Structure 1
Amino acid sequence: MRFSLRPLLVRCALAIAMPLAACAAFTFATAATSGVAHAQQMPPGAKQPSEFPRVKLTAGMFVIDAAVAANDPDREQGLMYRTQLAPNEGMLFVFNENAVHCFWMKNTLIPLSIAFMRADGTVTDIDEMDAETTNNHCPRNNGVYALEMSKGWFTSKGIKPGMKIQGLPPQQ
């Protein structure tokens, strides 16, 4: 007698796949009707965007509304899980030491530009970062601040290395 597992495996696979497909369709339909697309849940313990302290910065004639990440947990979270930024909104990272501070985009859902700065606010490096990548983005120069904005923001405003960002809070 010959016994084949193939029909049984096909039936089991269909029994598992059908409910999963229905669940996926329901989830997609619910997300589409609720206006949520490609959003990740904030993990337990993560700060909501409104919970970060904020500062007004200026870059030339442009005013920036920046959330401030000045401690390890805030810097680690950064703009992770955010699905959008307002036109002149960003995040300012404040470090305790003058060093090369590298960034990556894991769990960051929106593409960003980053400007690295010295203690006096002088921009030393600007880099473009794609969403949800783990490539390192490191400045060529030491610094104590980094400012993340929507991708292309610095270029569109004519902000280049050598220019200064004003209104930076003191290092902690």
Structure 2
Amino acid sequence: MKRAFYFLLIFTAVLFISGSCKQEAKKSVSTAPVTFTKEGTLSVYRAESDTLLAELDIEIAESDYETQTGLMYRESMEQNQGMLFIFPEEAYHSFYMKNTRFPLDIIYIDKDLMVTSIVTNAQPMNETGLPSENPIMYVLEVNAGLTDRWQLENGDKIVFHRLISD
């Protein structure tokens, strides 16, 4: 009986040691790059003169998932592209750059499609909140530096059109 006990003890130890020596296979998760999907067009106008400042192709973020994810995990965006966030009602909103890999200008826009505040050169991967100064219904994200190039000001207007989906 003693012999069977020792045999069982040694057998268990060997199994334990051999099981712990196995190397775990490395798990690799590869994700497909997130690409731009044109869902509309957007024009930016000077408020006083109705002068066209810029025309963009836009991707629209409207669902909870889309507005929470935004431009995260993308490597870049073309100069003539932007992402328009549309909220169901006007309210204060705050954005941050978590998992966003390139700098952005963030334009806060009210329900009347008027620019109310601008954050320039928001830095990649920064989780600091960037709040709107007023209640807003829309946010336009574009590549950093574009709002300076356009000389965009509070009070300027946007007009956007959705593409008709099949």
User: Is 2:131 the partner of 1:138?
Assistant: yes
Partner of 2:90: 98
AA partner of residue 49 (structure 1): T
RMSD: 1.8
Partner of 1:48: 34
Partner of 1:84: 76
CA shift in 2, pair 1:53/1:85, >3 Å: closer
Structure 1: unaligned runs, 5 residues or longer: 1-40
Q: Distance in 2 between matches of 1:161 and 1:121?
A: 11
AA partner of residue 122 (structure 1): M
Q: TM-score, normalised by structure 1?
A: 0.68
Following superposition of structure 1 onto structure 2, how do residues 9-158 of structure 1 map, counting pairs within 5 Å? 42=31, 48-50=34-36, 52=37, 54-60=39-45, 61=52, 62-128=54-120, 129-158=122-151
Q: Distance in 1 between matches of 2:153 and 2:139?
A: 14
Shift in Å, 1:118:
0.7
AA partner of residue 141 (structure 2): E
Q: Deviations over 1:137-168 (max 9, x none)?
A: 00110010000000111111111110001126
Q: Deviations over 1:65-119 (max 9, x none)?
A: 1100001001111000111111111100000121011000010000000000011
Q: Distance in 1 between matches of 2:145 and 2:87?
A: 24
Q: Distance in 1 between matches of 2:31 and 2:90?
A: 31
Structure 2: unaligned runs, 5 residues or longer: 1-29, 46-51
The count of corresponding residues between Structure 1 and Structure 2 is: 125
Query: Equivalent pairs: percent with the same residue?
Result: 30
Q: Distance in 2 between matches of 1:139 and 1:132?
A: 19
- Does the CA contact (< 8 Å) of 1:42 and 1:81 recur in 2? no
Higher normalized helix content (fraction of residues): 1
Shift in Å, 1:49:
2.9
Question: Larger RCO: Structure 1 or Structure 2 (Cα < 8 Å, ≥ 6 residues apart)?
Answer: 2
CA shift in 2, pair 1:142/1:54, >3 Å: same
AA partner of residue 76 (structure 1): Q
Higher normalized strand content (fraction of residues): 2
Q: TM-score, normalised by structure 2?
A: 0.70
- Does the CA contact (< 8 Å) of 1:121 and 1:168 recur in 2? no
Q: Give 1 or 2 for the bigger CA radius of gyration.
A: 2
Partner of 2:16: none
Moved over 6 A (4+): none
